[in-house]
């Protein structure tokens, strides 16, 4: 969907008329991360990373090659920081 974004949360599914770029700019940098040209994820909700995908609950979200290093670095550092 061109200028529509679907947001999935624990409360439900929402469709907005924002572009993903605009939504990304409005979200907190330390809580959300771009993982693919079509996906942004909440860092605190990521259950695991494996073979180019992140897992949030039963959902699998692809990580693009261009975002992979940044995703792994931010997710791991956030998890380590939260444990302190």
Residue by residue, pLDDT tens for the chain (84 residues) are 467 899 999 899 999 999 999 999 999 888 999 999 999 999 989 998 988 999 999 999 999 999 999 998 888 777 666 655
User: Tens of pLDDT along 17-34?
Assistant: 999 999 999 998 889 999
**pLDDT confidence of residue 84:** 53
What's this model's pTM, rounded to 2 decimal places? Answer: 0.82
Tokens encoding 73: 């670095």
Residues spanned by the domain of 64: 28-83
Task: Flag whether 15 is in a domain.
Answer: no
Task: Flag whether 8 is in a domain.
Answer: no
> Based on C-alpha coordinates, what's the Rg of the chain?
13
Q: Is the dihedral of CA 62, 13, 23, 3 positive or negative?
A: positive
Task: Flag whether 18 is in a domain.
Answer: no
Task: Flag whether 10 is in a domain.
Answer: no
Total number of domains constituting the chain: 1
**pLDDT confidence of residue 16:** 93
Task: Flag whether 41 is in a domain.
Answer: yes
């Amino acid at each position: 969907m061109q200028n529509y974004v679907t947001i999935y949360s624990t409360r439900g599914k929402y469709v907005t008329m924002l572009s993903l770029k605009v939504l990304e700019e409005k979200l907190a940098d330390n809580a959300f991360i771009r993982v693919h040209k079509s996906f942004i994820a909440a860092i605190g909700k990521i259950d695991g990373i494996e073979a180019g995908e992140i897992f949030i609950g039963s959902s699998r979200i692809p990580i693009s090659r261009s975002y992979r290093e940044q995703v792994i670095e931010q997710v791991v550092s956030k998890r380590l920081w939260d444990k302190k």
